Amino acid sequence: MTIRIGNAPCSWGVEFADDPRNPAWRTVLKECAAAGYKGIELGPVGFMPEDPAILSEALSEHGLQLIGGVVFRPYHDPSAWDDVLDATHRTARALKAHGAEHLVLIDSISPRRAPTAGRASEAEQMDSGEWATYRDRIAESARIGSEEYGLTVGIHAHAAGFMDFEPEIERLLSEVDEKILKICFDTGHHSYAGFDPVEFMERHVGRISYMHFKDIDPKVKESVIANRTGFYDACGQGIFCNLGQGDVDFPAVRQVLLDAGFKGWCTVEQDCDPTLDVAPEEDARANREYLESIGFK
């Protein structure tokens, strides 16, 4: 099986580079390696050093390969375009410097969408003009990553953003050239949105270039949706549980990937609140061991 399992700084609670609650980047590398992983994502650009020499030495010290990186920015906000472009170029440069392949684009949380995370029928929709410019901003980031830096670019749905529910993902896929934009598929966010991850994978596996493995506690999901709980508060309540303990059918996910001849990295992302009493290294090890128990090596 030519699927490799990595992890990401968000499993240590790292969502934003300048969050004072973040653990040290060297701690994340050390604990990721100690948990048995051979690959890690960059995390938000600026969390790890942007000097390639410094980061290369640290990755080598811990036997880790850089897999990819995420541009988690408000594509839905036209006034933030300069920030989106800056993050796109900085992330792509870092990935290229270390031979990483995957640039992941995520529309960050919008106040207009936060109250209806997990509620597709109630979520506010963009009008046709707003959608067109939104789509074009995502497409331009994808073009930059793929054509200027030679990376494989994937769109990633995320709770409480405007790229969240299946109809939005499929609309974007139909309007942006597959040559520049593929899918980074996150099992947990798809479940959070109220859709079946395995069914989506079966329909679109040919366009999936990269996987994020995340599981969802169904009882917490039911509660946070009923109470319109914000995304980060839901993280604090443990909506993203250890793999194999939630409602994502990982054996079926594995089978879809096998049947499609998928090759490459699948990255564990167990978003957590760094201020809580969590043990990221222990969870990371447990998640790796679970994946190995169902046939991922």
pLDDT tens per residue, range 44-55:
999 999 999 999
Measured CA to CA, the distance from residue 153 to residue 181 in angstroms comes to: 5
CB-based contacts of 228, cutoff 8 Å, min separation 6: 115, 116
User: For position 179, which CATH number holds?
Assistant: 3.20.20.150
What digits encode the pLDDT tens for the residues 95-133?
999 999 999 999 999 999 998 999 999 999 999 999 999
Helix axes 128-143, 81-97, angle to 10 degrees: 30
CB-based contacts of 31, cutoff 8 Å, min separation 6: 12, 280, 281, 284
- CB neighbourhood size of 275 (10 A): 9
Structural domain for 215, as ranges: 3-293
Measured CA to CA, the distance from residue 238 to residue 208 in angstroms comes to: 27
Residue type at 296 in one-letter notation = F
Nearest CA-CA partner of 256 in 245, 246, 241, 266: 266
What digits encode the pLDDT tens for the residues 233-244?
888 888 999 999
Query: 250-271: b or e for each residue (b if 16 or more CB lie within 10 Å)?
Result: beebbbbbeeeebebbbbbbbb
275 pLDDT exceeds 80? no
Show the tokens assigned to 122: 């109630």
| pLDDT at residue 235 in the model | 82
pTM, entire model: 0.97
For the segment 77-87, the average pLDDT, to the nearest whole number, is 98
CB 253 within 8 A of CB 187: yes
Residue type at 86 in one-letter notation = D
- The partner residues of 69 in beta bridges, in order of sequence, read 103
Task: Concatenate the DSSP letters of all residues of 128-159 into one string.
Answer: HHHHHHHHHHHHHHHHIIIIIT--EEEE---T
274 pLDDT exceeds 90? no
277 pLDDT exceeds 70? no
Q: What percent of the chain has pLDDT over 70?
A: 98
In the chain, the number of structural domains is 1
Nearest CA-CA partner of 5 in 206, 291, 294: 291
CB 228 within 8 A of CB 276: no
Phi, psi at residue 193, to the nearest 5°?
-70, -10
Nearest CA-CA partner of 189 in 207, 154, 163: 163
Show the tokens assigned to 8: 């990401």
Query: 57-95: b or e for each residue (b if 16 or more CB lie within 10 Å)?
Result: ebbeebebbbbbbbbbbbbbbeeebeebbebbbebbebb
For the segment 85-89, the average pLDDT, to the nearest whole number, is 98
CB-based contacts of 296, cutoff 8 Å, min separation 6: 1, 3, 5, 254, 266
